[in-house]
Every structure is written in C-alpha cells, then in structure tokens.
Amino acid sequence: MISENLALVKNRIAEAARRSGRPPESVRLVAVSKGAPADRIKLARSAGAELFGENKVQEARDKIAQLGREDFSWHFIGHLQKNKVKYVFDLFDMIHSVDSLALAGALHAEALKRGTVMPILLQVNVSGEESKFGAAPGELEDLLSGVSRLSGVRVRGLMTIPPYRPDPEASRRHFARLREVRDRLAGLHIENVSLDELSMGMSNDFEIAVEEGATLARVGTAIFGERQETALP
C-alpha cells in the first residue's frame, strides 16, 4: 500500500509541477513520517522515498537510532524549542521551522561548537492565525538581516502552514502570498541568504502548493495513512 501511495503522490506532484510550467524534478517530496513506525518508514524508503520529515525530536531520535542517517535524509518540520537545539545536529539535515532570531542564534551557537553549518528555512505565518508559529511577513526583512550575520546557519528559503480548510483551493492564496514574499525578499540580495526553497503543502493541498511554487511538499497521510499520534516531545 505504501508503495502504491508513494507512486500516486509522486505522480500528482509531477503533474502539478507541469501545470505550473516547472519540471517535476524541481519539487522534492518530504515524506512526513511523524507517527509512522520505523518499519513503515523503511518500506517507504525501499519504494523510493528519500527525504523524511519529523516534528518531534525525541520520536525522531528513536527512529533514527533504528534506521540511521546513511540511507535517509531527515528534515525537522515541527516547532523547535531552544532546549532541543543540541540534539538536532545529530539527527537532521535541515530545519524548516526557524521563526525567531533567538532560535537562529541558538542553532548558530551550537553549530559553532561543532564546526558545522545548519541549513534552515524561516517559518512564515502568512495567514496571521494566532495559533500558528512563524514570523509575520512584515518582520521577515529584519529577521533575514539578523540571521544573515550568523555563520552557523544558512537560510535556504521559507516555510508556511496555512489554516486547514476542507477545500484545498482555500490554501492557494496563502501559498501565493509566501511566493510573493519570497520573490520580494530575493530582490534585496541579502548576503549569505538563499531563498530557493519554498516548503509548503500537506496531504490535503500539496498539489495547490506545487502549482504556486513549492519546492518541498510535505506529505504524510497520503503516503502512510492516518497516523497514531504520540505524546513524545
């Protein structure tokens, strides 16, 4: 089932990319494996998934201890608390959810200790929902300017999570807004900042996200089925 689901999702991404005038390979699938056990993640990897997204540090630590990093690429897509920063460097290749200079600074400090650089995306709250994490679009220029001075992190793009609506078309304006914000900021040519990546779209609306420019589509339920939530932090 996972193999068939994965093939269908990849095909839907490819078709959406073509509708937007882009080659399918311009969009990478993030198989969101939160709540999925290690054996199902292994099945997805065998079926061709390469990039996996987790949103809880402890859950990811347990899975990655079983599955390793050699044959898997892991991205952190959840809200990251500063007291968990020291763990993410041993687990993840990118953080999608940096939403403050304080968090970027904590990642920078840990990166300096380790002699490395962590690729990050800045999370943007394009909808203005109070329940959502993320910087407001109007705060991004100052945030980017500050983060660009931190040598331990490197901004690669932006991420957003729109309000959930049953109709995926309702997400389109939020995805378009993120792309417009990205395009404006890219025109500023801020040093040490790359804005090539747009992480947006989930199982219910990823095709709309791809049509609006997503380069990283975060899809979980459509691949793994309904997940079992865990209380791990």
Q: List the single range of 9-18, 109-118, 122-131 with lowest mean pLDDT.
A: 122-131
Q: What burial class does residue 212 get, using C-beta atoms within 10 Å of its C-beta: 0-12 exposed, 13-18 middle, 19+ buried? A: buried
Q: Do the domain assignments include residue 143?
A: yes
Question: With the C-alpha atoms ordered 27, 28, 34, 40, is the resulting torsion angle positive or negative?
Answer: positive
- In the structure, what pLDDT confidence band is assigned to residue 82 with cuts at 50, 70 and 90? very high
Please tell me the distance from the alpha carbon of residue 47 to that of residue 3, in angstroms, as a whole number.
5
150: which DSSP letter? Answer: -
Segments forming the whole domain that contains residue 176: 2-224
pLDDT of residue 231: 44
Over the stretch 147-198, which tens digit does the pLDDT of each residue have?
999 999 999 999 999 999 999 999 999 999 999 999 999 999 999 999 999 9
pLDDT of residue 89: 98
Asked, for residue 230, whether it belongs to a domain, the answer is no
Residue of 41, 39, 43, 11 whose CA lies nearest to 27: 11
Looking at residue 131, its pLDDT comes to 83
Q: What is the pLDDT of residue 228?
A: 61
Burial of 102 (0-12, 13-18, 19+ CB in 10 A): exposed
Domain assignment of residue 85, yes or no: yes
Whether the pLDDT of residue 133 is over 90: the answer is yes
Mean pLDDT over the full length of the chain: 96
Spatial separation of the C-alpha atoms in residues 187 and 168, rounded to whole Å: 30
- Cβ-contact 179, 218 below 8 angstroms: no
Query: How many CB atoms are located within 10 Å of the residue 226 CB?
Result: 8
Q: What is the count of structural domains for the chain?
A: 1
Residue 153 lies in a domain: yes
Domain membership flag for residue 232: no
Q: Is residue 160 part of a domain?
A: yes
Beta-bridge partner residues of 158: 122, 198
Q: Is the pLDDT reported for residue 122 higher than 60? A: yes
Q: Which of 128, 126, 139 is nearest to 180 (CA)?
A: 126
CATH assignment of the domain containing 80: 3.20.20.10
